[in-house]
Each structure stands twice: as structure tokens, then as C-alpha cells.
Structure 1
Amino acid sequence: MRIAVIGAKGLPAKQGGIEHHCEEIYTRMVEKGHEVDLFARSSYTGSNSLHTYNVGGVRIVSLPCLKAGGMDALLSSALGAMASLGKEYDIIHFHALGPSLFTWLPKFSTNAKIVVTCHGLDWQRAKWNKACSHLIKMGERAAVRFADEIIVVSEELRSYFKKTYNRETTYIPNAASNLGESDPNFAFGTSLGLQQQRYIMFLGRLVPEKCPDLLIKAFQKLQPQGWKLALVGGNSDTTEYSQQLVDLAANNPNIVFTGQLKGAHLAEIIQKAGLFVLPSELEGLPLAMLEAMQEGVPVVASDIPVHKQLISNNRGVLFPVGDLHSCVRSLDWAIHHPQEMAVMASNAQNYVKANFNWDGITDDTLGLYKALLHCETPPPVRERRWSMLTNILARLKVSCV
């Protein structure tokens, strides 16, 4: 198969669940003999516009973009959608709702099957202003109207599309990356002032919807003796919010901002954490939590539906989302009940190994592609072009309502 990928920032993955997802599944598809082109953003790749290079057999095409909030994603996705028209792709796969705004372009102009993966309801994210949120919501509606198949990464998202649009979707989750070995001497962690098993870890982008501010407040209120808090991650168009977090920490020596980590340093900090905490109010399917669960790290998290899916049934501790006092109590209980938390961590580790792995996810995605291609072949583009043209603007108008 010839596959085009639109919506990812680029490869190799640096930060962001979509990029890690794409690197894991598309390199595997190439190994199975398929051809994959991924249209990326020059702001991410650091390459000149229209530069091409290879990552794990995936051909990366760097496209121009604007470094202005969400406009870089929209421009590069529009250009990617147009670029996909010039080659006979079998599948054109859009990742995320904003880029899906342009699903109608290849739907109108090619015989390729259009697939969208919804990694989360991005229009709800606090970093977007009202105009950007509206455009992303339009992308969601465009996906519903023009995609041949929509993949969702959580059961919550499947319920959302069914309830909101009466649209059936296919549940194919994400999985944790294999972190590999880390330094048994914990040298990097020691350089940060951390002790093995004696720090609470937050891992993710420092954005409002992940609520790292709530965790900082809870840690300062609890002041657990001999423990530190490590916040691992960079910002995502949220520099002002990141500075607010630093100010909130108020130079507390027990609160450590590590910045974005990867490779052996990231593995070391995850694997030696005493607790992993994710207080988010919004998630698609959190890869960071899956990685912690996979490594056997005890988990405490807010009780949003996707977290319930992952750590209910004695796989972790849940607290009401946004509730500071409940967060404090949950952290206190987890710190003082290590044996109970170890049992939960073991249950979570077994659950992840049984239900979330990239080989299975790749096979499921390829199976969906093949099923679409074996459907009845649509009329040639030239025969359906004008009939679709009369409907496109009407459909987009409805989607804006």
C-alpha cells in the first residue's frame, strides 16, 4: 500500500503523543513492505521547506509553516492535503482534528480512502483561543462527514462520536514506548537532586489541561518528608503558563523542573520514580501514563473517563478531577501505603502488557486499511467530481453551525 500521513509535526518524535504514535506504527508498516510518506512542518523538522529525508524507512516531506500559534498546524496540513493529490495513494491518514479540516480535499480529488485518528478533543484544550477552537471543531465535523473511517484511541472518544454524531468509530488505542535500559547508578537523577523511589513524577507537556499547577499546590500543601516533585516536560505554545508554574513553585528546592527529556535520561527518571501522578482534566489516551504503568511505577490520577479505563479495578488511585484536597489525601495515602501501591502497580503492568502493544496496534490499523480497500471501488474521480462539488460547500456550511 501507498500511505500518506498528515497532521503529525514530523519525525523523529521529540515531544507529543501523535509523533510517537506515528513513529511506532509507520516504521513497522514500512518493515512490512508498505510505502509511507509523512508530511511534516518545517518549524519542527528544522529543515528547509520541501526538504525530504528518511526516518526508519518513512519518507518525511518537510512543508512550509507559520510560527503563529495553531496556524502552523493548519497551513502545513492544508499543504499536505494538496501535496497528497499528486501521487496515487491508497490511504491518506489524517491525525488529530485540526488537520482533518482538509479531509475534503483528497476526498474530492482522489480515489484514496480517507482515515482520521482522533487522539483527543483538541478544541477543548485551554491553549487555543476561541477562533482556533472553532476551526478545530470544524475539523471534527469535517472528519465525521468526509472520512471513510475514524479511529479513536479511547472508549470515551468512541462514545462521544456515537452520542454526538451517531457515527460509528473504530477503537485502536495507543501503547507505551519501550524505554530500554537506564543507568543503574541513577547518576542523572542524582544530578537533579532526586533519590530513587523518593520522588513524585509528572510527565507531559506543561499545559493547563494537564493541571500541573494542581499537583504543585498539592505537593506544597502536603510537604511529604524526604520526597521531591519532578515535573518533566516542555511547553507547547504555553510559555506564559510555564512561567506561572515556576512562580508557583516559589523556588522550593523540593520541586524540580527537568525540562523535556528523552532517551536514557527519560527512562531513568520514569523507572526510578516513587509515584507517577497525572491530574489532567482532559486526555485522549495518555502515553506517559501507559509508560509509567508498563514500567511498574504506581499511579495516582484524576478520575476522568480515560484514566478510569486505565487504572480502575485496583490498578491505581483516582481522585476527583480538579479537587485539590482530594489530590492531597490521595498522595498522602499512596506515600504511606507502599505495599498496596506495589500490588496496584503490578496489576497495571500486566494490564498494559496484555492490552497495549505497538505490533498489535500496527496490525489492527493495517487491517482497517485493507478492509477499506476491499470495499466496493468508488466511481472514478472525474465522474464524481462535479456531483461532490455541489455538496462540499453545503456540507462545510452545516459543519459550522
Structure 2
Amino acid sequence: MKVVVTGTRGIPNILGGVETHCEELFPRITQKGIDITIIRRKSYVHDSFQEYQGVKLVDIETPKKKSLEAVIHTFRAILRAKRLHADIVHIHAIGPALLTPFARLLGMKVVFTHHGPDYNRDKWGFAAKMMLRFGERIGCMFANEVIVISEVINDILVRKYGRKNCHLIHNGVPMPDKIDSIDYLSEIGVESCKYVFAMGRFVPEKNFHQLIRAFAALKQQNYKLVLAGDTDFEDDYSRKLKSLAKENGVILTGFIKGKKLHELLTHAHCFVLPSSHEGLPIALLEAMSYDLPVIVSDIPANLEVGLAFDCYFQTGNEEQLQEKLQKSLAQDFCPVHYSMDEYNWDKIAEQVVSVYENMF
């Protein structure tokens, strides 16, 4: 069986939730004897890999324009999939799902993974949001199989499109790689358990601006705020966010993975995710795997994770977020153990392979 994957910018070490999802999932699927090729967007690639952990990699030129690149890349990727004699095209996200009928017309089966209603993201204008809604509809109508990463998304597709046979397969998280070393902490000027940690893409719906203001209002002398991440497209929001961060002494690490990220997750006092929109946040799952106390917005995707009531604050309510931060920082660090069984990538890979196999 040959599967070609599109809808992701690529792997490895490329910023994004879908990208992290694909980087963890598809090497595991290749270990089960399935031929996987990921079509990458060349403008995001900073390596010369033709293969990564058994996954074949093909790079395609795509214009780096947020309103066009996903659809143009998916169109070219589907043409390449046909030339590669793919049995299945696995499309990730609702924008690329617009091209589902095209892949079907070329004689290939399609699996569509819905990572979240991206039309709710603040960065998109009216026309883009309409196209994303249309992509969601087209994907649900024409894909042979649909995978959803949360019950919240499943309910949306049942209610809006009557698609009742979606496969609920969660995002996952790898085993934590806890690091005793504090070399990176020293490099950026923080102490173990003396910082609040957040990570993600610098886009409005992550609400990092609210986190910065809430933390700054505490006038903390003993703790710092560390924010890991960056933006794909530098715009007014990302520039203002970085400026706000610098004005308030926030430590910006940029996009990091591997040992540096693991060190920050190992030694944080707590983790904060103030988003107004998520599918099923891998960043939150990662923080939980490191036994970190968490403070998160009460959006449906975060509520579905099933944290203790005290972990949540009302989305967009900076005063409530400030109160939660104050309460956390007034206490000594205390690890929290969460049940992570349903977020096991090996089990998730088996579930996806089962979807593939049942198509034939």
C-alpha cells in the first residue's frame, strides 16, 4: 500500500501542530510496512533530506502566501501522488481538503484528517474563512474516510454535514524526555521552577498578548515568563506581540524543538495555554506529559482533555488568568500526574493503519 501525505508544510523540525502530528505519526506507520511519502512545501524546508525515519520526502515549490499556499501546494501534491501511483492520498486540514474531489477524480482514495475549524482563527479575512468552510464541507462530502482529532470536531461534522462515520483518533504525545541539565536555562537567564512557560505560533487566537499583560500585572520579581515559538508570516500582530514581550521582560526563545524544549518543559513552574481556538492542542498534551501544572482557557477543545476545574479560566478574561497565575506562583512547584494512555502515538498509528486497511 502506498500513501502520499499532503496538507502539512513538512517534517522534520517545522513549526506547527499539524507538522508535529505528522512527524510523530508517519514514521510509526512506515514501521508497519506501509509506503509513506510526505510532500513538503519547499519554502519551509531547511534540510536536504529525501527520507526521514523511513518516510520518503518530496519537496515542491509553493508560493509562500498564507491565502494561497495550502491549496496550490495540495493541487501540485495530488498530481505528484498520481505520478507516484499512490493508492491513498491523506489530506490534513480543511483548507487542503478543497482538493479532495480532484484526488478522487484521478482514481485515488482519500483520507481527510480534520484538525480543527480553522475558519475560527482570527488571522483569516471573510473570503478566506468562506473558503475554509467550503473546504470542510467538500472534505466531508468526498473523502472516503474522515479522521477527527477530538469529539468536539466530530460533533461539528455530525451536526453540520450529517457525517456520522468519522474515526475519532486523538492527537498524541511522545514519552517525555526529562532533562536534569539546566544549561539552556542558564543561557536564557532563568532558574529551574522559576518561570511560567507557554509555546505556540504567534497568531492572534493563541492570545499570548493576554498572557503577557496578565503576567506583567503581577509585577513578579521572583518569576519570569518564557514564550517559545514564532510566526510563519511576520505581520502587524506578531511584530506587536514581540514588542509587547520585550517591553515586559518576557523571554522569547524563538522556535525550538528537541533538547532545549525538553529542558524548558522539565523545569517550568507551570504551563499556560490561553487560546481562543484549538483542535486538540499538542502543546498542552506535551506539558501534561511532563507532569506540569497547567492553566488553560475553557474552550471546548481544552475542556475535552478533562482537567481539574481549577485549571481553567474563562477565555479572554485577563483578570481571571491573572488570578490563576497568582495562585500558582504563590505555591511551591508540585508535579501533577495525568493519564496519557489515549494519547499514545503507537496506538494512534495502529488506528490510522486500520483506517487505511479497511478501505480495500
What TM-score, normalized to structure 1?
0.85
Matched residue, 1:320:
314
Instruction: Return the index of the structure with the highest Cα Rg.
Output: 1
Counterpart selection for 1:360 from 326, 347, 356: 347
Structure 2 residue 94 is matched with structure 1 residue 97: yes
Residue 36 of structure 2 aligns to which amino acid in structure 1?
V
Matches within 5 A, 1:1-400: 1-46=1-46, 53-110=50-107, 112-168=108-164, 169-182=166-179, 184-249=180-245, 251-253=247-249, 255-313=250-308, 317-338=311-332, 342=335, 345-346=336-337, 348=338, 351-352=339-340, 354-373=341-360
Task: Count residues with an aligned counterpart.
Answer: 359
- What secondary structure does 1:236 align onto? coil
For 1:42 and 1:246, the matched residues in 2 are separated by: 27
For 2:348 and 2:181, the matched residues in 1 are separated by: 34
For 1:84 and 1:249, the matched residues in 2 are separated by: 43
CA-CA distance at 1:52 after TM superposition:
7.7
For 1:135 and 1:13, the matched residues in 2 are separated by: 28
- Give a deviation string over 1:39-83, Cα, whole Å, max 9, x none: 111111257xxx981111111111120022231211111111122
For 2:207 and 2:150, the matched residues in 1 are separated by: 20
- Give a deviation string over 1:173-217, Cα, whole Å, max 9, x none: 1111345243x2312112211111111111111110010001001
- Give a deviation string over 1:360-394, Cα, whole Å, max 9, x none: 00000011111122xxxxxxxxxxxxxxxxxxxxx
Residue 357 of structure 1 aligns to which amino acid in structure 2?
N
Relative to structure 1, the CA distance from residue 225 to residue 366 in structure 2 (aligned partners, 3 Å threshold; closer, same or farther) is same
Contact 2:13 2:257 in 1 (8 A): no
For 2:306 and 2:264, the matched residues in 1 are separated by: 21
Residue 261 of structure 2 aligns to which amino acid in structure 1?
L
Structure 2, unpaired ranges of 5+: none
Contact 1:152 1:173 in 2 (8 A): yes
Residue 212 of structure 1 aligns to which amino acid in structure 2?
F
For 1:15 and 1:177, the matched residues in 2 are separated by: 17
CA-CA distance at 1:250 after TM superposition:
5.2
For 1:114 and 1:185, the matched residues in 2 are separated by: 45
- Taking only the aligned residue pairs, the percentage that are identical comes to 32
- Give a deviation string over 1:328-381, Cα, whole Å, max 9, x none: 111112222447x64xx22x2xx12x22111000000011111122xxxxxxxx
- What secondary structure does 1:194 align onto? coil
For 2:220 and 2:304, the matched residues in 1 are separated by: 29
- Give a deviation string over 1:227-276, Cα, whole Å, max 9, x none: 110111011324321221133235333x2111111111111111110010
Contact 1:179 1:264 in 2 (8 A): no
Structure 1, unpaired ranges of 5+: 374-401
Residue 183 of structure 2 aligns to which amino acid in structure 1?
A
CA-CA distance at 1:224 after TM superposition:
3.0
Q: Following TM superposition, where does structure 1 have runs of at least 4 consecutive aligned residues deviating by more than 3 angstroms?
A: none
